[in-house]
Amino acid sequence: MTLVLASSSPRRRDLLARIGVTPSRIESPDIDESQLPGEAPRVYALRLAIAKAQAVARAAGEIVLAGDTTIACGRRILPPADTEEIQRGLLGLLSGRRHQCLSAVCVIAADGTPRTRLSDTIVAFKPLSAAEIDSYVASGEGLGKAGGYAIQGRAEAFVRFLSGSHSGVVGLPLFETRALLLAAGVALG
């Protein structure tokens, strides 16, 4: 069976390789990621994962895998850090606080059946000084990332507590992904 990864994220490719999976094809989905009025973060993450999987053309016999990683503080969904100013604001908000990393996965099986899983990870940052935030922003590491940080890099030193899936915070919860791929008939290496 052919696996299509509906993502342009190199992190998702690397994470799949950890469980012995190499996609046959990679295609970046083009969807509107706007939050719907009153939409809760969990619902939002699952909706986007499904929409990404459905946005990719699927040939007969192909299996599609898509994911979405959403960072939330309470019911507030945090945007990607598209600018350094946004990133500073996000890191200031997360400083000394707990937040949720919701990592949703959708696999559309060869027969067209979509299956989803959601990984809910609690992450707590230590209080960050202005100098730490400035240094991290200057590194360029979290720019463009959900919540303004990349846990697999320098930001891991800010984490004082994590409960859940580390790989989910990176971008693809491997436990949930493996279960969905097996259910869809993908042979894992």
Q: Known catalytic residues?
A: 68
Phi-psi map region of 112: left, alpha, beta (phi>0 left; psi -120 to 50 alpha): left
Q: Give the CA-trace dihedral at 139, 145, 151, 155, to 10 degrees.
A: 30
Of 83, 73, 92, residue with least CA distance to 132 = 92
Q: Which residue(s) pair with 121 in the sheet?
A: 101
The tokens 């493996």 sit on which residue?
Answer: 178
